[in-house]
Amino acid sequence: MIKFYYRQGCGSSQKAMSWFEKYKINVDSKRIGEISKQDLQKILSYMDGGLETITKRSSMSNPQTQNSLEMLLEMNLDEGLEYLSRNAYLLRSPIVLDDNKVQVGYNMDDLRQFFPREYRRLELSTDQGFI
């Protein structure tokens, strides 16, 4: 099952949810504040970067968020994951996760990886003129 962590009132989260609804892809929707330390570990295991790949950008944040992000940089990985699970406002959104892939933020082209395999095969054969 695809997990979809969203932020209330976030345009990117709304666009991603609309995309899943358009293609009738079922997701387990949860507010980003409900994200677990285990899911954060799983997300990072699928990504090339560290915590900075899933957190808000400091340059685009208010002073309180900037201070929290700086504190996060001083923590070890385990402490950082625990801190993020309790302070999910620091995370980028949406976060889409399944058993073997993850997408952080909204990018319509990247969300296509969550199409069911049968749909991708059909789409590919249609694009190539086989059907």
- The domain spans of the chain are 2-127
- Closest alpha carbon to 81 in 119, 39, 120: 39
How far apart are the C-alpha atoms of 62 and 68, rounded to whole Å? Answer: 10
Instruction: Match 């406002």 to its residue by tokens.
Output: 89
Question: Of 53 and 130, which is predicted with more confidence?
Answer: 53
pTM: 0.84
pLDDT greater than 60 at residue 9:
yes
- Does the structure show a pLDDT above 80 at 118? no
Instruction: Report the CATH number of the 2-127 domain.
Output: 3.40.30.10
pLDDT tens, residue by residue, 20-54: 999 899 999 999 999 999 999 999 999 988 888 99
DSSP lists the bridge partners of residue 80 as: none
The rounded Cα 11 to chain-centroid distance in angstroms is: 14
Measure the CA–CA gap between 54 and 51, rounded to whole angstroms.
6
Mean pLDDT taken over the chain = 89
